[in-house]
Amino acid sequence: MSVLEMNNVKKSFGSNNVLKDISIKVEKGEVVSVIGPSGSGKSTLLRCATLLETMDSGTLSYNDTKAAWMEENGIRYTKNLNEVRRHFGLVFQNYNLFPHYSVIKNLMDAPVSVMKRDKDEVRRECMELLSKMGLEDKADAYPCQLSGGQQQRVSIARALAMKPEILFFDEPTSALDPELTGEVLKVIKELAESNMTMVIVTHEMSFARAVSDKVIFMDHGVIVEQGAPEELFGNTRSERTKQFLQNYNNI
């Protein structure tokens, strides 16, 4: 049973075919990194998986619960999309924290007002999450008072507070300077060690290599190559992948 399964996903914006027949499968506890040049469709794939975009065709399921499937007259999404959303969390490139809420309220509000869970229990859990992130003293601060790295860690904690089975990261460190990037990558690494299932769209090659069980290289809306990191980075088969990775090594 896979936590996430997407098959034959196609998506275009106007005449621009962003995803051309993509299939991926993520098993429980697996960490999958998606790399590739800008415009290759990595983010769109993530946005399709998290229901921020609707696919033109293809299937999507979480833990064998079907979210979208093909019928004779095209793609159908389940009516119960909120049920589907319980399966995953998403960490954005620019955090998207709620600026008018304190850190702790950012974490607590969705579990309390969406999942209708007990407030005290949620508070306990969220404080625990914050201390895991090294931010327990920032509970009452507002996002604008935090550094970018701290904000991104809060947004990771906010996603975790919903107890997702799988966590998506959309270029989580692209808005951060190298020093702050380190503190966020460290948190993601700890999550990987605690067997969190994750899909990470990233430009951090050495990080992807170190943390992933599987790396997917995408270009022009197709998966060019995928495999274990030592395979993909050490024993690259595709010319296109080689060319892409070369640019990183040259820096």
Partner 1 sequence: MTLATMIMKMSEGLGKTCAIFFLTLLFSLPLGMIVALLRRSKIKVISKITQFCISVLRGTPLMLQLLAVTYGPYYLSVAVNKLSDLYNWSFYLDISISRNKLIPVVIAFAINYAAYFAEIYRSGLESMPVGQYEAAHVLGYSKPQTFMKIILPQVIRRILPSMTNEIVTLVKDTSMAFTVSYQEMFTIGKQVANSQTSFVPFIIAGVFYYIFNAIVGFVMGRVEKSMSYYTM
Please state the separation of Cα 171 from the chain's center in Å. Answer: 8
Please state the separation of Cα 144 from the chain's center in Å. Answer: 23
CA distance 17 to 167: 26
Q: Which is nearer to partner 1, 3 or 90 (CB)?
A: 90
Q: Which is nearer to partner 1, 184 or 232 (CB)?
A: 184
- For partner 1, the binding residues (CB under 8 A) are 50-52, 82, 85-86, 88-90, 92, 94, 96-100, 109-110, 113-115, 142-144, 158, 162
CB of 27 to partner 1, least distance (A): 22
Q: Which is nearer to partner 1, 198 or 223 (CB)?
A: 198
Q: Which is nearer to partner 1, 83 or 230 (CB)?
A: 83
Which has the closest alpha carbon to 6: 17, 18, 21, 16? Answer: 21
CB of 79 to partner 1, least distance (A): 14
DSSP output for 132-171: HTT-GGGTTS-GGGS-HHHHHHHHHHHHHTT--SEEEEES
CB of 223 to partner 1, least distance (A): 24
CB of 167 to partner 1, least distance (A): 11
DSSP H/E element including 16: strand 16-27
